């Protein structure tokens, strides 16, 4: 079931197809054994599925003795797209653990999916997982951050992990933006004891995937809104080949596209990082762990220095 494709150097996407035979696809989906050779041998745990609407799903990529499977997150993808027996799926692989998926009815006609994203007035950024309702709305801060720092927020989420927006979500004032991007925090500064405590908690983090840890400074969270990536990590994982953007997932399943800016010796997160900071209410002394779960895809684990506080941004 693997379609013959051209060499990787040609830039053409490799493809395989799967027919949804009864009882063989609802829980997990096996990738054709002959196709697995095209997937990087580096053991990344997650893959990204992109449907025809441009929405994304983060799926666990599991390698076992009897094959390689799309598992956790796959049942949601099946449900969200109303995939049923004898539907025909074509997977296009771009080499970066990202698959573009086309879905066809048994009559050979393609299914159309239009998962509405949140406009300035209504709707929600959506992974397409459920009909639009209150529980699938993104916080207002995400919308405003999107307008002020364009191109950074992906219309994605994992709906089964989302919660309703709480009253302590980031609040943005209605005052006009200044030319300089700067924010003043109203959160109490972290004490030395709190800093030590959050550092200890973050240091206990372990993963089979590569990761790095950053304690946020004023440049990261208030002024320049950039974040320097450790040189060794960037050289090993983000500069071969040279990539200009990365996808950041938070633990609620939201995703942002963030620009990578490279110099001869440094790599920084720049455009899009501002929106990530605002939407996730990041503050000075908070610690972020950036876990590389796929090629240029990072899961961000946030350890807050000050617990249970409300942050208001003023720009």
Mean pLDDT in residue range 219-243: 86
What pLDDT score does 140 carry? 43
C-beta of residue 136 within 8 angstroms of C-beta of residue 159: yes
Mean pLDDT in residue range 119-147: 35
Pairing verdict, β 98-104 and 67-70: unpaired
Q: Would you say residue 166 has pLDDT above 70?
A: no
Q: Is 142 helix (H, G, I), strand (E, B) or coil?
A: helix
Q: Could you give all domains of the chain from N- to C-terminal order, each with its CATH number? A: 2-104 (2.40.330.10), 138-313 (2.40.330.10)
What pLDDT score does 58 carry? 83
What pLDDT score does 114 carry? 55
What pLDDT score does 308 carry? 64
HSE, side-chain direction, 13 A CA sphere, residue 123: 13
Radius of gyration of the chain from its Cα atoms, rounded to whole angstroms: 21
Pairing verdict, β 312-313 and 171-172: parallel
Long-range contacts of 119-122 (CB under 8 A, 24+ apart): 120/147
Q: Would you say residue 139 has pLDDT above 90?
A: no
Mean pLDDT in residue range 96-124: 66
Scanning 65-191, the segments in alpha helix (DSSP H) are: 74-80, 140-148
Instruction: Enumerate residues 6+ apart whose C-beta is below 8 A from 47.
Output: 58, 59, 60, 61, 70, 97, 98, 99, 294
Mean pLDDT in residue range 189-217: 91
Per-residue pLDDT tens for 29-63?
A: 999 999 988 887 654 677 888 888 877 888 888 88
Q: Would you say residue 5 has pLDDT above 80?
A: no
Pairing verdict, β 88-93 and 287-294: unpaired
Per-residue pLDDT tens for 209-229?
A: 899 999 999 888 887 889 999
What pLDDT score does 233 carry? 93
C-beta of residue 19 within 8 angstroms of C-beta of residue 88: yes
pTM, full prediction: 0.51
What pLDDT score does 200 carry? 93
Q: Would you say residue 127 has pLDDT above 90?
A: no
Bridge partners of 50, per DSSP, are 56, 100
Q: Read off the pLDDT band of 301 (50, 70, 90).
A: very high
Q: What whole-number distance in Å separates Cα of residue 124 and Cα of residue 144? A: 13
């Amino acid at each position: 079931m693997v379609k013959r494709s051209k060499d990787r150097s040609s830039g053409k996407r490799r493809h395989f197809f799967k027919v949804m035979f009864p009882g063989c696809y609802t829980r997990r989906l096996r990738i054709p054994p002959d196709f697995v050779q095209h997937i990087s041998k580096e053991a990344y745990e997650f893959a990204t599925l992109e449907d025809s609407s441009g929405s994304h799903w983060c799926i666990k990529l599991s390698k076992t003795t009897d094959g390689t499977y799309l598992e956790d997150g796959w049942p949601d993808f099946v449900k969200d797209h109303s995939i049923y027996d004898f539907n025909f799926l074509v997977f296009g692989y771009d080499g970066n653990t990202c698959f573009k998926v086309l879905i066809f009815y048994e009559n050979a006609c393609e299914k159309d999916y239009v998962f509405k994203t949140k406009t300035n007035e209504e709707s929600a950024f959506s992974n397409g997982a459920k009909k639009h309702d209150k529980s699938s709305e993104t916080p207002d801060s995400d919308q405003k951050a999107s307008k002020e720092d364009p191109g950074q927020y992906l219309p994605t989420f994992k709906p089964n992990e989302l919660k309703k927006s709480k009253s302590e979500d980031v609040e943005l004032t209605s005052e006009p933006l200044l030319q300089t991007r700067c924010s003043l925090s109203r959160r109490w500064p972290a004490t030395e004891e709190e800093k030590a405590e959050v550092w200890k908690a973050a240091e206990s983090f372990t993963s089979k995937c590569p990761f790095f840890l950053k304690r946020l400074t004023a440049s990261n969270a208030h002024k320049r809104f950039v974040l320097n990536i450790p040189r060794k990590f960037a050289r090993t994982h983000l500069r071969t080949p040279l990539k200009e953007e990365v996808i950041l997932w938070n633990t609620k399943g939201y995703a942002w596209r963030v620009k990578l800016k490279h110099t001869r010796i440094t790599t920084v997160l720049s455009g899009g990082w501002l929106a990530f900071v605002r939407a996730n209410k990041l503050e000075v002394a908070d610690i972020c762990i950036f876990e590389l779960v796929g090629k240029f895809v990072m899961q961000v684990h946030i350890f807050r220095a000050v617990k249970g506080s409300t942050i208001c941004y003023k720009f």
